[in-house]
Amino acid sequence: MSSQHIMNTYGRLPVTFERGEGCYLFDTTGQAYLDALSGIAVCSLGHAHPAIQQALTEQAGKLVHTSNLYQIPKQNELSDKLCELAGMENVFFSNSGAEANECAIKIARLYGHNNEIKEPVIIVTEGSFHGRTLATLSATGNRKIQAGFEPLVQGFARVPFNDIDAIKNVAKNNKNVVAILIEPIQGEGGVNVPADDYLKQIRQLCDEHNWLMMLDEIQTGMNRTGQWFAHQHNNIKPDVMTLAKALANGVPIGACLANGKAATTLQPGNHGSTFGGNPLACAAALATIAMMQTQEITKKAHSSGEYLINHLRSMLAEVPGIVNIRGKGLMIGIELERDCTELVAKALDKNLLINVTAQNTIRLLPPLIISRAEMDLLSDKLSAIIKEFLAK
Ligand SMILES: *Cc1c(COP(=O)(O)O)cnc(C)c1O
């Protein structure tokens, strides 16, 4: 099933998917699986969406790549669209989330140097995940991801998540801070939802101290939480925002959006990418956004999220061993009292695709197009699996 010529970096499950349709994936024997993970918050419109397929084939028949040495109309169109949705000024396109965060980190550092701060520091949080490149793994708040790759990239100050006083403390003691980089809801860290006013208070601190507020919305963005971008729940605007995952429904693309003083920091020659924002990826992203708009996915993610979380809460009420069920929109975590990594394989046996983060939290990131019937099926299957596991 696997090749010894693939570098051994992933723990893969023993299943091979051949095709997909909506919220279902089909393996090589034709068995159907209900996908409650969407390729980790990527295929929000479901698998093999006809509009994405059409955009890809049309664009592939014209042009796949030209490089950023020339004008790319689809890139211009996509940047206009994203800036309109986010109320921000401009965009740099990359090929992945980690690369989008690299762009944000470079903006913050250059912004510091432009303001006579020679050793700029970016505040990051415990339990965060920002990617696997050297700078982004250094920003990540998980020792397992960093171990063995020292020396880490310097210039990050770490605070606990959801703790405003800790940020104020850093502000008092560290005059080199230039920015804060944070996920509105921590994804890999265990679907950690901060207090309602956390982002607003961070915005105020950033304004007070002239720091850039940089939001990693790679997982929370593109309607996952029931808003185009999770920070829109809080009526604030960041200076920098990174996107990737669901941006083109599975075609690799990342974006770093900037506003105000962050939008004019990078100048010609400061940053670049060969593939970034190529016609094919931009065509897929434009089709994704258009489809999300016509299908009113923002509203749908919001109402489906409420339905699913309430349904799960009522089905799992009174079950001992469940710490809580939390989330926003269709980004949902079910925390158990004990480690439950084995549930991923158990769910696979029952033809259900889920994920476990932070060892003890089941993470659900279903396609945003998921129907009521599919949510009911998901809840039935999952609560049976959880009850059986916790009864042991
Ligand atoms: C997935 C993720 C990343 C990394 O994205 P890649 O495309 O894997 O590089 C960064 N930040 C967050 C919050 C993510 O969920």
Per-residue model confidence (pLDDT) at position 3 = 85
d(CA 163, CA 195) in angstroms, rounded, equals 9
For residue 94, list its beta bridge partners.
254
Q: How far is the CA of 22 from the centre of ligand 1 (A)?
A: 23
Which atom of ligand 1 is nearest the CA belonging to 244? 7
Q: Of the residues 93, 125, 128, 129, which should be mutated to test ligand 1's pocket, given the most ligand atoms within 8 Å of the CB?
A: 129
Structure tokens at 296: 């009113």
pLDDT tens-digit map of 50-102: 999 999 999 999 999 999 999 999 999 999 999 999 999 999 999 999 999 99
Which atom of ligand 1 is nearest the CA belonging to 216? 13
The answer to whether 129 is a known catalytic residue is yes
Q: How far is the CA of 312 from the centre of ligand 1 (A)?
A: 27
Q: Which residue's alpha carbon is at the smallest distance from atom 5 of ligand 1?
A: 97
Phi first, then psi, for residue 224 (nearest 5°) are: -55, -40
Q: How far is the CA of 249 from the centre of ligand 1 (A)?
A: 14
Q: What is the CATH number of domain 17-49+296-390?
A: 3.90.1150.10
The answer to whether 161 is a known catalytic residue is no
Q: How far is the CA of 96 from the centre of ligand 1 (A)?
A: 7
Segments in the chain below pLDDT 70: 1
Write down the architecture of domain 52-294 according to CATH: 3-Layer(aba) Sandwich (3.40)
Cis before 151? omega within 30: yes
Residues at CB less than 6 angstroms from ligand 1: 96-98, 101, 129-131, 183, 187-188, 216, 218-219, 244-245
Residue in the block written with tokens 């980690």? 98
* Residue in 93, 161, 245, 328 annotated catalytic: 245
Q: Of the residues 99, 220, 245, which should be mutated to test ligand 1's pocket, given the most ligand atoms within 8 Å of the CB?
A: 245
pLDDT tens-digit map of 131-187: 999 999 999 999 999 999 999 999 999 999 999 999 999 999 999 999 999 999 999
Contact (Cβ atoms closer than 8 angstroms) between residue 363 and residue 38: no
* Residue in 92, 93, 129, 275 annotated catalytic: 129
Contact (Cβ atoms closer than 8 angstroms) between residue 83 and residue 91: yes
Residue in the block written with tokens 């965009």? 91
Per-residue model confidence (pLDDT) at position 1 = 58
Q: How far is the CA of 363 from the centre of ligand 1 (A)?
A: 15
Which atom of ligand 1 is nearest the CA belonging to 254? 7
Domain range annotation of the chain: 17-49+296-390, 52-294
Which atom of ligand 1 is nearest the CA belonging to 96? 7
* Residue in 74, 92, 216, 239 annotated catalytic: 216
Which atom of ligand 1 is nearest the CA belonging to 186? 13
Q: How far is the CA of 174 from the centre of ligand 1 (A)?
A: 28
Dihedral of CA atoms 239, 243, 247, 253 in degrees, nearest 10, equals 120
The answer to whether 17 is a known catalytic residue is no
d(CA 259, CA 86) in angstroms, rounded, equals 10
Structure tokens at 85: 């949705």
